[in-house]
Chain A
Amino acid sequence: KAGVTQTPRYLIKTRGQQVTLSCSPISGHRSVSWYQQTPGQGLQFLFEYFSETQRNKGNFPGRFSGRQFSNSRSEMNVSTLELGDSALYLCASSLWGNTEAFFGQGTRLTVV
């Protein structure tokens, strides 16, 4: 059974640009959540989607957005990139959202 797949693995963007990250969950999993990992702030929750509906959102500015498609695949978008957005972005999938979550390898975003 394939795990959680995140693409791309690495990205370099310039300040002010926007970026879209993709996540394909484990087959049969309907919940997808996103986390940002930085050395200073650790792992922080961004948002969670289930059946195309956002059920919870973390404390991030509106520049961070996401969506989920009918096949449970999810994307997150960051607009007007800032240097502080440089981080490892991790996607996790689970059956229902309050069960065990399985993480992808992450997308390493560097903003220059």
Chain B
Amino acid sequence: AQSVTQPDIHITVSEGASLELRCNYSYGATPYLFWYVQSPGQGLQLLLKYFSGDTLVQGIKGFEAEFKRSQSSFNLRKPSVHWSDAAEYFCAVGGNDYKLSFGAGTTVTVRA
């Protein structure tokens, strides 16, 4: 069975500081990996995706993520956080079964 673990429920970061959100997955085959962001009361916005190839992927809003097969991880990073990055972030794994399995999410608070 596929599953995703996001170990950090809540992270507080200062504006301008770097951010790293952790994601570990379990999947029997080659995974497709995603990071989504959700603002309160809104839907999910896709930040970036990994299907194959280069293990460092770039996304929107200055985010990047690195796929490490040996560690079953897909951590999200941003070098310098802006106040508008405050939101909830979800890591997801999918494949050829046409469904996404999501982690529980990490809430990011940005302090001035």
Q: Is B26 an interface residue (CB 8 A)?
A: no
For chain A, residues 15 to 54, give those with C-beta under 8 angstroms from any C-beta of chain B.
31, 33, 35, 42-43, 45, 48, 50
Shortest CB distance A74–B (Å): 13
- On whether the beta carbons of B43 and A104 are closer than 8 Å, the reply is yes
Flag if B96 contacts A98 (CB, 8 Å): yes
Q: Which of B45, B49, B99, B104 contacts A42 (CB 8 A)?
A: B104
Which of A48, A55, A97, A106 sits near B42, CB closer than 8 Å? Answer: A106
- The answer to whether A100 and B34 touch across the interface, beta carbons within 8 angstroms, is yes
On chain A, the residues within 8 Å of B49 by CB distance are 100
Residue of B nearest to A9 (CB): B41
Provide the bound-state CA to CA distance between A26 and B49, in Å: 18
Q: Which size class do A's interface residues fall under?
A: 20 to 34
Q: Which residues of A contact B36 (CB under 8 A)?
A: 103
B27 close to A (CB within 8 Å): no
Chain B residues 73 to 112 lying within 8 A of chain A, measured CB to CB, are 90, 94-105
CA distance A7 to B99 in the complex (A): 22
Q: Is B17 an interface residue (CB 8 A)?
A: no
Expressed in whole angstroms, the minimum distance between the Cβ of A56 and any Cβ of chain B is 5
User: With a CB–CB cut-off of 8 A, which chain B residues contact A48?
Assistant: 98-99
A76 within 8 A of B: no
Q: In angstroms, how far is the closest chain B Cβ from the Cβ of A95? A: 12
Distance, CA A104 to CA B49, complexed state (A): 18
Report which A residues bind B (CB closer than 8 A).
4, 6, 31, 33, 35, 42-43, 45, 48, 50, 55-56, 58, 90, 92, 97-98, 100-106, 108
Q: Nearest 5 pairs between A and B by C-beta?
A: A97-B98, A43-B102, A103-B44, A103-B43, A48-B98
Residues of chain B having any CB pair with chain A under 8 Å: 32, 34, 36, 41-46, 49, 90, 94-105
Q: Could you write out 9 A-B pairs with CB less than 8 Å apart?
A: A31-B98, A35-B100, A43-B100, A45-B100, A90-B44, A92-B44, A98-B97, A98-B98, A103-B46
